[in-house]
Amino acid sequence: MLFKELAGYYDRLSSISSRLEMIDVMAEVFKSASKDEIKPIIYITQGILVPPFEGVEFGMAEKTIEDAIAFSTGISKEAVEKEYRKLGDIGLAAEEIKKKGNIKRLADRPLTVSEFYEKMLEIAKMSGKGSKDAKVKALSYIISESTPEEAKYATKYPMNALRLGLGDATMLEALSVAFCGDRKSKEKLEAAYNLCNDLALVGDTLAKKGIRAIDGFEVSLFKPVRPALAERLPTAEQIMEKMGGRAAAEQKYDGFRCQLHMGARKVKIFSRRLEDTTEMFPDLAEAVLREVKAESVILDGEALAYNEETEEFLPFQQTIQRKRKHGIAEKALEMPLHLFVFDILFLNGKDMMKMPYEERRHFIEKLLKNCEIIKPSTMIMVSKPKELEEFFENSIENGLEGVVVKDPKSSYIAGARKFSWIKMKRSYKGELSDTVDLVVVGYYRGKGMRSEFGFGGLLCAAYNEKKDMFETVSRIGSGFTEEQMVQLRKALEKDKTDNKPVRVDSLIKPDFWVYPKYIVTVKADEITRSPTHTCGKEKLNNGTEAGFALRFPRLVGEEAIRKDKGTEDATTTKEISEMYRNQKRVSIEEA
Ligand code: ATP
């Protein structure tokens, strides 16, 4: 496939307003490509070069791309910048300049998708002294070989600003339509994706080896598995009932989720978003090599600063100081971490994920018996609500966040929030017991005192997994510090758009729409029914239609934007609706 053709498809995708249509167009792309082109097409469409955990980034700032446009078209940098400002999009600016300039393309034949991808990968891998100039030259060469339409996407790609609005679910459905004839195989593809976290690898396997190879997908060392997640329930009774009367209760540590892979004397540690964070935790990498006697292993756990002398767990605000780029070794000495291991996914070449929790736990305890830094999480078996409550209170007293209750018979369910894990956090009377993580889909210009910040609040949405859409649930106008307002405006300004993004479902029109990209953590007093929001919208008994809204929402957390979660990790519509039902149940029980 020629890159020109792919650019044509992207133009089509940009003008579509229905997700189903997007699936069809993307399926058409896959069908018209050769098998070898599926992988590069998926990476380009996702705006990445390799799976996120391999950590290869373009390393090109806005200015570098502007320089490349100037260099390749012979116009001044100032003129490029002016065009960019006018159009608000680097790709449109490049396209416009190429059109106006009427510059003949230099290449004797157009680039194929694979050639384009390889060239971009080469640019990304340039590093060290003089690499900035080399990157400008290489990208400008691509731009001069391009038509205006190709130039548009060749400049948007390194800025991760393709903005096609295609989520993982849409891509998986498109692959299913293209190679299996309908959308039904999406679930199987998703299961494989959950094991390798590499959409392009799933697509490549499907195209080359068919759906049977997808069925046989297994976890493998140094490819992070998408993490299992917990559901919520408000009371110990409800949890015990859901668990069928017997459950494992573990302390809930508030630190960094770490998925640790070790094999052949090599260690990699992945974050909750499955980015490679090995360099941030030299103490843990060293400890696992020293303490854990296994040929190969994948452990799932939470890393936390812990004071051994006082036996105190340090609060998250302290642990977070370990998240840094410089002075890592010094901080590791000053604030050593412990890894509390709560799951094992792989041991000595064997996939453990299908084994029941109780058996996996047995392996963890045996393997970590004499370890000091890498320890099993504290766990007790409970069979009565009262026992669970006591353990919960005890955990809170010890400075922990709460408990996670687990079904002893369950396998490790990658990438999903299921009732095999249920979290219970401290609940404040009259307040929602947990915060929610929402996707920013719009923002407001500030009025009155806030006009000086150019920021007045956010329009936020929950993620509807079934529809793969973002549905509004709250306008948030409080909880921001002045610094946060400035930080939010700066970030959001770059991603604002005149039209409502395709996957956003909203009845409200904010001052500016924003491409779904940023997550904020929000606390509220209650969830109420509301006709103005689309989250969980349905016909009520009284014949009216209503969704859910947060009452008295406010931003929480030191950092306004939550960096450890992507848009599809946001609180889901289903969770909001469950929280609504639970809160009703609690207030009835209290009454
Ligand atoms: P939260 O903001 O509450 O941590 P989350 O969306 O990151 O939520 P949840 O699925 O809601 O994740 O809760 C599980 C999280 O709790 C895990 O991601 C992990 O980081 C943390 N955790 C701490 N202790 C445990 C434990 N013993 N078992 C499982 N998860 C634990």
* Domain of residue 529, CATH code: 2.40.50.140
pLDDT reading at 581 higher than 70: yes
Regarding whether 267 and 331 lie in a shared domain, the answer is yes
Strand partners, 548: 529
Let me know if residue 328 belongs to a domain. Answer: yes
Catalytic-role residue among 252, 425, 523, 537: 252
Tell which of 397, 424, 451 closes a domain: 424
pTM, full prediction: 0.82
- What pLDDT, on a 0 to 100 scale, did the predictor assign at position 430? 43
When pLDDT is averaged across residues 88-112 and rounded to a whole number, the result is: 82
Question: Which amino acid would we find at residue 421?
Answer: W
pLDDT reading at 427 higher than 60: no
Regarding whether 485 and 396 lie in a shared domain, the answer is no
Could you confirm whether 252 is annotated as catalytic?
yes
Ligand 1 pocket: which of 344, 423, 519, 575 to mutate (most atoms within 8 A of CB): 423
Residue with tokens 């195209």: 207
Atom of ligand 1 at shortest range from CA of 251 = 27
Regarding whether 383 and 294 lie in a shared domain, the answer is yes
- pLDDT tier, 294 (very low <50, low <70, confident <90, very high otherwise): very high
Instruction: List, in order, residues 6 or more apart from 4 with CB less than 8 Å away.
Output: 110, 111, 147, 149, 150
Tell which of 131, 159, 187 closes a domain: 159
Let me know if residue 30 belongs to a domain. Answer: no
- What pLDDT, on a 0 to 100 scale, did the predictor assign at position 428? 41
Regarding whether 385 and 501 lie in a shared domain, the answer is no
Segment 114-154, tens digit of pLDDT: 999 999 999 999 998 989 999 999 999 999 989 999 999 99
Q: Return the number of other C-beta atoms located less than 10 Å from residue 317's C-beta.
A: 9
Segment 321-380, tens digit of pLDDT: 888 888 898 888 888 899 999 999 999 999 999 999 999 999 999 999 999 999 999 999
- What pLDDT, on a 0 to 100 scale, did the predictor assign at position 306? 83
- What pLDDT, on a 0 to 100 scale, did the predictor assign at position 311? 74
Q: Return the number of other C-beta atoms located less than 10 Å from residue 307's C-beta.
A: 12
Ligand 1 centroid–CA 481 distance in Å is 27
Expressed as residue numbers, the domain containing 330 is: 229-424
Regarding whether 233 and 370 lie in a shared domain, the answer is yes
Let me know if residue 38 belongs to a domain. Answer: no
Ligand 1 pocket: which of 253, 341, 405, 522 to mutate (most atoms within 8 A of CB): 253
E strands along 24-130, which residues?
Answer: none
Cα three-residue angle 502-508-512, rounded to 5 degrees: 70
Percent of the chain with pLDDT over 70: 96
Atom of ligand 1 at shortest range from CA of 379 = 27
Ligand 1 centroid–CA 9 distance in Å is 40
Q: What are phi and psi of 379, to 5 degrees?
A: -140, 140
Cα three-residue angle 380-386-388, rounded to 5 degrees: 30
The answer to whether 590 touches 482, Cβ cutoff 8 Å, is no
Answer whether 343 contacts ligand 1 (Cβ < 6 A): no
- What pLDDT, on a 0 to 100 scale, did the predictor assign at position 191? 95
Let me know if residue 467 belongs to a domain. Answer: yes
Ligand 1 centroid–CA 521 distance in Å is 15
Answer whether 332 contacts ligand 1 (Cβ < 6 A): no
Residue nearest (by alpha carbon) to ligand 1 atom 19: 257
Regarding whether 466 and 322 lie in a shared domain, the answer is no
Percent of the chain with pLDDT over 90: 68
The answer to whether 58 touches 158, Cβ cutoff 8 Å, is yes
Let me know if residue 459 belongs to a domain. Answer: yes
Regarding whether 381 and 242 lie in a shared domain, the answer is yes
Regarding whether 413 and 441 lie in a shared domain, the answer is no
Tell which of 424, 458, 491 closes a domain: 424
Q: What is the dihedral sign for C-alpha 356, 357, 359, 363?
A: positive
Answer whether 364 contacts ligand 1 (Cβ < 6 A): no
Answer whether 404 contacts ligand 1 (Cβ < 6 A): yes
Regarding whether 440 and 395 lie in a shared domain, the answer is no
Q: How many domains does the chain have?
A: 3
Let me know if residue 278 belongs to a domain. Answer: yes
Answer whether 380 contacts ligand 1 (Cβ < 6 A): no
The answer to whether 276 touches 268, Cβ cutoff 8 Å, is yes
Residue 83: which H helix or E strand, with range?
Answer: helix 77-87
Longest dimension (CA), the chain: 79
The answer to whether 531 touches 471, Cβ cutoff 8 Å, is no
The answer to whether 227 touches 194, Cβ cutoff 8 Å, is no
The answer to whether 336 touches 282, Cβ cutoff 8 Å, is no
Regarding whether 455 and 390 lie in a shared domain, the answer is no
Ligand 1 centroid–CA 238 distance in Å is 19
- What pLDDT, on a 0 to 100 scale, did the predictor assign at position 431? 52
pLDDT reading at 589 higher than 50: no
Ligand 1 centroid–CA 553 distance in Å is 22
- Residue 512's nearest CA partner among 534, 492, 526, 484 is 492
Residue with tokens 């920013």: 440
Regarding whether 409 and 382 lie in a shared domain, the answer is yes
Atom of ligand 1 at shortest range from CA of 272 = 18
Regarding whether 476 and 529 lie in a shared domain, the answer is yes
* Cα-only R_g, the chain: 25
- pLDDT tier, 164 (very low <50, low <70, confident <90, very high otherwise): confident
Residue nearest (by alpha carbon) to ligand 1 atom 4: 254
Answer whether 253 contacts ligand 1 (Cβ < 6 A): yes
Let me know if residue 254 belongs to a domain. Answer: yes
Q: What are phi and psi of 510, to 5 degrees?
A: -75, 175
Let me know if residue 503 belongs to a domain. Answer: yes
CATH number of the domain residue 115 falls in: 1.10.3260.10
Answer whether 416 contacts ligand 1 (Cβ < 6 A): no
Q: Return the number of other C-beta atoms located less than 10 Å from residue 293's C-beta.
A: 11
How far is residue 419's CA from residue 405's CA, in Å, rounded to a whole number? 9
E strands along 76-166, which residues?
Answer: none
- What pLDDT, on a 0 to 100 scale, did the predictor assign at position 205? 97
